Structure 1
């Protein structure tokens, strides 16, 4: 059905991998199918906040995320065999990085988890809702 899928994950919540990865693997049916797993390290936001962080904070956060993602993918690889898994770490706004990465990797679809909505999510809009609204690709949202 799809050749290239993007699975954005929150490394602080393993259910995002456990729930979305098997679905993405099942949808990746092309002979050279790939599942790209993305984690986004959020930026510090306002410059005034960033000024209180160590100079190398962003690099250390990205390096730590790369290590955590590599370990998580190794542990979960069996959920996706024989589909190829590739990990990616970016920095920035979560939903914007998901959309940008899906476009840059020429993905056919995005498979992501979303938690049960709280009242604040109806007012502000969670990342999943923003991705659904703005992505060019098909988006499957799995309840986590």
Structure 2
């Protein structure tokens, strides 16, 4: 029985996020668990790449990602269900941040999407594979 379900979304605009969110919400509903949704932004840190961005770029990116999470959750889950969802935006390597958020939230289950395989690629995406490999809780992969 899960007390907390973490749903990791890419927010890439395709139908996969809707499918992953729907499945995560269904699983949380089955156990009466808290549903958390997370999106991870890349971290440019102190690298030379960060010099190409304005100082407020990161804060704006976090706000935009949070707005997109809110909008997607409202569309898929409805206003009432969305009001109970915790929306989280992290910065860093996707798999590391997903695992950190799951640990902090006390998640019993992580729901994550797998990228669509092509003819030459029948493996999970690298982030999903790493989450599965390193997670201390169960991971449900949605295809």
TM over 0.5: yes
In structure 2, the gaps of 5 or more residues are none
Q: How does 1:122-133 map to 2 (within 5 A)?
A: 126-133=126-133
What SS does the aligned partner of 2:10 have?
coil
Residue number in structure 2 paired with 1:105: 105
Superposition deviation, residue 56 in structure 1: 1.4
| Deviation string, structure 1 residues 31-65 (Cα, Å, up to 9, x no partner) | 4x211010111112661111111111111111111
| Per-residue deviation, 1:21 | 1.9
Partners of 1:121 and 1:90 in 2: how far apart? 28
Q: CA deviation at 1:72?
A: 1.4
List per-residue Cα deviations over 1:45-102 (Å, max 9, x = no partner): 6611111111111111111111111111111124x95994221111111110000000
TM-score (norm: length of structure 2): 0.84
**Aligned partners of 1:9 and 1:51: how far apart in 2?**
28
2:42 counterpart residue number? 42
2:31 is equivalent to residue 30 of structure 1? yes
Could you say which residue in structure 2 is the equivalent of 1:142?
142
Specify every segment of 5 or more residues in structure 1 that has no aligned partner in the other structure, as ranges. none
Q: Are the aligned partners of 1:2 and 1:109 in contact in 2 as well (CA < 8 Å)?
A: yes
Q: 1:121 and 1:58 mapped to 2: Cα distance?
A: 34
Q: Which residue of 2 aligns with 1:12?
A: 12
Asked whether the equivalents of residues 38 and 88 of structure 2 are also in contact (C-alpha less than 8 Å), the reply is yes
Given the superposition, is the C-alpha separation of residues 126 and 45 from structure 1 closer, same or farther in structure 2, using an over 3 Å criterion? farther
- C-alpha separation between the residues in 2 aligned to 1:120 and 1:45? 31
Tell me which stretches of 4 or more aligned residues in structure 1 moved more than 6 Å: none
Question: Structure 1's 106 and 134: CA in aligned 2 closer, same or farther, altered over 3 A?
Answer: same
Residues 142/83 of structure 1: CA separation in 2 closer, same or farther (3 Å cut)? farther
